[in-house]
Amino acid sequence: MAAIGIAKGARPGGQGGGLRLPRWREPSILPGFGPAMGFTVLYLSLIVLLPLAALIARPWEDGFAGFWTTVTDARVLAALKLSFGAALAASAVNVVMGLIAAWALVRYDFPGRRLLDAAIDLPFALPTAVAGIALATLYGPHGWLGAPLAHIGVKVAYAPLGVFVALAAVGLPFVVRSVQPVLQAFDAEVEEAALTLGARSWQRAAFVILPGLVPAVITGFSLAFARAVGEYGSVIFIAGNMPMKSEIAPLLIIIKLEQFNYAGAASVGLAMLGLSFAALLVINGVQLALARRGTT
C-alpha cells in the first residue's frame, strides 16, 4: 500500500522520495507574467491596434479603384511629398544641430547652461498652435526675421520653407534628449587613451566618440521624423496651405473630413501609415545592422 497517496504519474524526486510537480505547476521566476501580459495586450489593442484596424478597413468602402484614385491624385501626391520630404530634411538637419547642442550642454560649462538646457524641452510642453503662431509672427513678411530675409529674396512664411522650419523646431528636442544621456555616460578613459596615442581632437571625435553615439543618433532621428510626419498645429499657421505648393498631408485629411469624404480621408491616412511604417522599418534595419556590426 506504499503507493497510496502518490499521485498518478508522479515520480519520486531525489533521495527523500518526495513528489515532483509537473512542469506547468512549477513556480515562475517572474511571477505575474500572465496578468501583466494580458493588460499589455488589452491596452495595446484598445489604443493602437483597433484604431489602426478601423483605418485600414475604412478606405475600401469605394473599392480598390476608389482608394487608388484618391492616393494617386496630384494634390494628394504633392501633399505627401511635402510632408515626408520636409520631415526627412528637418530630421537630417536636427541630427547635426542636435549633436552640437548636446555636445555643448555636456562638455562645456557656461553662463546660462541650465536655462538653455531647460529651453530645449519647450517644444514638448508648448501647444503646437502657439508654436505655429509664434513662428508665423517671427518669419512673416513683417517679422523680426522674416523682413530681413525677404529683402534678400528668401521667403519663409507661407512657403514650403516654412514647413521645414516648423518641423525642425518641433523635432530638435528628440535628437538632443536621445544623444545627451549617452554622451554624459561616455567613458572618459577611452578619450584619454586615444589622446596618449597621439590622436588629435577631430580624430577623437570622429573615431572614438561618434561611433558610440550612432545608435542614439538613429533613435533621435527616427523619433524626430515620426513626430514631423504627423505634425499639424505648428505647420498650418506658417505654411500658407496652398494646394500643390505648401499643403501638408494632415491638413488634406482634415479638409476631406470637413467635406464628409471619410473614405478619402482614410485613404490618405492609410497611405501615410504605409509610408511611415516603411521609413521606420528601414531606419530600424539600419540600426540593427550597425548593432550586429558592432558586436562582431
The pLDDT assigned to 30 comes to: 66
The domain tally of the chain equals 1
Whether residue 170 contacts residue 228, with contact meaning beta carbons closer than 8 Å, is answered with yes
Whether residue 128 contacts residue 234, with contact meaning beta carbons closer than 8 Å, is answered with yes
The pLDDT assigned to 38 comes to: 87
The pLDDT assigned to 55 comes to: 87
Does residue 257 lie in a domain region?
A: yes
Expressed as residue numbers, the domain containing 106 is 63-295
pLDDT by 10s per residue, the chain, length 296: 444 444 444 444 444 445 554 555 555 666 777 888 888 889 988 888 888 888 888 888 878 898 999 999 999 999 999 999 999 999 999 999 999 999 999 988 889 999 999 999 988 888 888 999 999 999 998 889 999 998 898 999 999 999 999 999 999 999 999 999 998 888 777 777 877 777 777 777 777 888 888 889 999 999 999 999 989 989 999 998 899 999 999 999 999 999 999 999 999 999 999 999 999 899 888 888 887 876 55
| Residue 8 grid cell | 498518478
Does residue 2 lie in a domain region?
A: no
Does residue 179 lie in a domain region?
A: yes
The pLDDT assigned to 18 comes to: 52
Phi and psi angles of residue 155, each rounded to the nearest 5 degrees, phi first:
-105, 120
User: Domain holding 219: CATH number?
Assistant: 1.10.3720.10
12-13/18-19 β-pairing:
antiparallel
Does residue 40 lie in a domain region?
A: no
The pLDDT assigned to 19 comes to: 52
Does residue 213 lie in a domain region?
A: yes
Does residue 52 lie in a domain region?
A: no
Does residue 21 lie in a domain region?
A: no
Does residue 190 lie in a domain region?
A: yes
Whether residue 138 contacts residue 183, with contact meaning beta carbons closer than 8 Å, is answered with no
